[in-house]
Amino acid sequence: MIGKDVLGILYTDAYNDCISELTALRTTGSVPFGGRYRFIDFPLSNMVNSGITKVGVITKNNYRSLMDHVGSGKSWDLSRKNSGLFILPPYNFGGGKYKGRLEALRNTMDFIQASNEEYVLLCDTNIICNMDFKKLIKYHEAKNSDITICYKEGKYPQLANLMRFSVDADGEIADMTVPPKAEEGEGIFGVNIIVMKKSLLERLVNQATAGDYDVFEKEVIMKNLDKLNIYGYKIDTYCSVIDSMQTYYDTNMDLLDPAVSAQVFDRNNPVYTKVHDDMPAIYGVDSKAKNCVLADGCKIEGEVENSVLFRGVQVAKGAVVKNSVIMQSCYIGEDANLNCVIMDKNGVIRPRKSISGDSAYPIYIGKNISI
Amino acid sequence: MARKTECLAMLLAGGQGSRLGILTKNVAKPAVPYGGKYRIIDFPLSNCINSGIDTVGVLTQYQPLELNDYIGNGQAWDLDRANGGVHILSPYQQIQGTDWYRGTANAIYQNINFIDRYNPEYVAVLSGDHIYKMDYAEMLDFHKKKGAACTIAMLEVPWEEASRFGLMFVDDDGKITAFEEKPKNPKSNKASMGVYMFTWSKLREYLIADEAKEGSSNDFGKDVIPAMHNAGEVMVAFPFDGYWKDVGTIDSLWEANLDLLNPVANIDLSDKSWKIFSNNPVTPPQYVAPTAEIQNSLITGGSHVEGEVDYSVLFSNVTVEDGAEVKYSIVMPGAKIEKGAKVQYAMIAENAVIKSGAVVGEDPQAYDDRANWGVAVVGPNLTIGENAKVKAQTMVVEDVEGGAEV
């Protein structure tokens, strides 16, 4: 049974510098997304929907809001006596904070070794995708694979140490490169969702040299391409890797397409999140809402079009909000005008103020800012 | 041995709510959906936890399965506790005197042992039928200050409605001098809200006495309260000023839901200082399509709106297709209003489907016989066929075929 077999590990700090405005005060895993979620909700929900019952959440910096959001794991049914959710802050690590995946794993080795599961499923949190991990594990076992890496084909995400490779007819990975800096281009690339036997992970992490600049993708994966069976698992449903503010904006906007949202919010694999007990959304007299995704607690008196509104957003009479992502509890004053804006939590746009970006250059307004 | 608690609450949730017809055929009245994502019982439960009462007995009897499931371990209201918390209390078999709950007083009488475990000084007795926000701690302070044996929450109602209520006569000191039960010609407009605070030692005495009385109907209002009053116990009325709605009839349930859209009604569920908690459904955020036209409505997560929605309340996971119209109506979780269907002045229960071109309900202004106008109701899981018509004041309890008129 999968629950007893797979240990989930989430890297909640990976790639935080790609969306530095959003991660200035919060770790990647707790970046708000999609009206009522945070990034971590997606891989975490995928894990519990697949039957995984033990998840280690590796944290590094600014993880207070993440801890508050995830709590004891109750919303994902992970508040358990046996197994459940474990927050893993940096532990006694030689004075500094770890620099990458490899060091993070070394820091977490005691937790991993003390666990009893057979496999480990390693996941980044900047991936918006609804996936059935049971299928991934079955594939891994069917291929007799040592390491299975999920992949997509398309434009390369602008991320450092992206794994690029080719996949043969059987699914086996070859010709891997791991450029240290992001590069433009198209092709097959690894999405950081990786399965391998726990014992193998322990061995490989211990074997990898303990240098400062060592990169997991190079030391553990690429170096062992010829020695181990490394397979690729194709993700053919909607999957977006958040590598920039632009991608963050575009991915939120993608949710306005019912075909995309049906995949991301698959009713058979629901996305769980912290419960907030807001009242349902209210649309006032003379309000105009078209092509929007709205969360509970919103009060719409003005006009909202092509936008994603988080919990408790208030749009006053005469205000117009278009093509924007407005986070929790923002207040858009009377006759204000917003176009192509990403607005962080608790912001205020005073009456008659106007902020306009472009869909190819959305303007980011920070947390708690009043304009 | 349970830890001693100062005040616990007993919530009477056993009623059938027969006037709600098909809506309570398989579900107890306190579990009836309200306000988009709530159920009626969320109000007394949230009031309890917000007032600092963390030990609540919920007395169930009629069709309790959905209610019990909904309450679960009480976590949604912070009532999952090591000490106290929420407890579902059904009638149970005893060595002698096993019985269903014969009346509101008998229900509490049968649970004296439960209450004694916590050894409280005070017991709040609440009905599970009303929508209101109240701080029971304030009521308890009032009860203590007046040295009362029983405090009854009181609301001044409009004189035209007074005859529907149990009424009280209250002196300047707050003491209740007399009662009047649903009189034809009311001389008081001070109504009992069905919310009581008792000094437990006193209540316990009168419950035992009432149980032993031959011919008693074992009802609070008819038997226990008058007995306390006649014996000269100090009974006071706690004045309440705020929104309070009994949702025991189709019309009142419909009105109470639409009250959320009417600022004059003064019920604000977004008040963060007094949150109404509920067992939230897990849904994605709601989606409003480019073709949607929404005015003055309340819409809950998971819903998908492509059509017209005006002055209505949509619960979770409701679909309103392009070309469909929903006006002055309540649509409960999971219901689907298909292309070209029209729902007006109606209540559509959970998972019902209104097919293309069907018309449910009638506008009272276009209705000839005003006195016989009423809200149309479609029961849970039913289908109203294409182009069918459901007239005003009709309660649909089985599928309606395409083209039919009921």
Dihedral of alpha carbons B26, B27, B28, B33, sign = negative
The percentage of chain B sitting over the pLDDT mark of 70, rounded to a whole number, equals: 98
Instruction: Tell me the backbone φ, ψ of residue A38, rounded to 5 degrees.
Output: -125, 155
CB contact under 8 A, A278 and B270: yes
pTM: 0.92
Q: How many CB pairs under 8 A join A and B?
A: 94
Residues A104-133, mean pLDDT to the nearest whole number: 94
Indicate yes or no: CB of A289 within 8 angstroms of CB of B304. no
**A193 φ/ψ angles, rounded to the nearest 5 degrees:** -125, 110
Interface ipTM above 0.85: yes
Residues 6+ apart with CB under 8 A from A75: A272, A273, A274, A275
Q: B271 vs chain A: nearest CA distance in angstroms?
A: 9
Test mutation, A42, A283, A321, chain B, max B CBs within 10 A: A283
pLDDT mean over B1-10 = 82
Write the residue in A265, A270, A289 that is nearest to B292 by C-beta. A289
Of B269, B280, B292, the CB nearest to A290: B292
- Cβ of A292 and B287 within 8 Å? yes
pLDDT tens sequence across A289-316: 999 999 999 999 999 999 999 999 999 9
Q: Are B191 and B154 in contact (CB under 8 A)?
A: yes
Mean pLDDT, chain B, as a whole number? 92
Mutation site for A-interface testing, chosen from B39, B288, B298, B319 by largest number of A Cβ within 10 Å: B288
Q: Scanning every residue of chain A, which has its alpha carbon at the shortest distance from the alpha carbon of B283?
A: A270
Interface test with A, best of B270, B271, B273 (most A CBs within 10 A): B270
Query: Between B261, B286, B296, which is nearest A294 by CB?
Result: B286
The mean pLDDT value for B364-370 works out to: 84
Contact assignment for B288 to A272 by CB distance below 8 Å: no
Of the candidates B44, B35, B37, B36, the one whose C-alpha atom is nearest the C-alpha of residue B15 is: B44
Q: What's the gap in Å between the CA of A15 and the closest CA on chain B?
A: 26
Determine the 3-state secondary structure of A19 from DSSP. helix
Amino acid at B274: W
Q: How confident is the model at residue B266 (pLDDT cuts 50, 70, 90)?
A: confident
**What tokens appear for B48 in the block?**
């309890």
Using DSSP, how many helices (H) and how many strands (E) does chain A show? Answer: 9, 26
Residue A91: its pLDDT value, please? 72
**Which residues in chain B have Cβ-Cβ distances shorter than 8 Å to A264?**
284
Residue whose token pair is 């119209």: B325
DSSP 8-state assignment for residue A79: -
Rounded Cα–Cα distance for residues A187 and A185 (Å): 7
- If one compares A24 and B43, the residue with the highest pLDDT of the two is B43
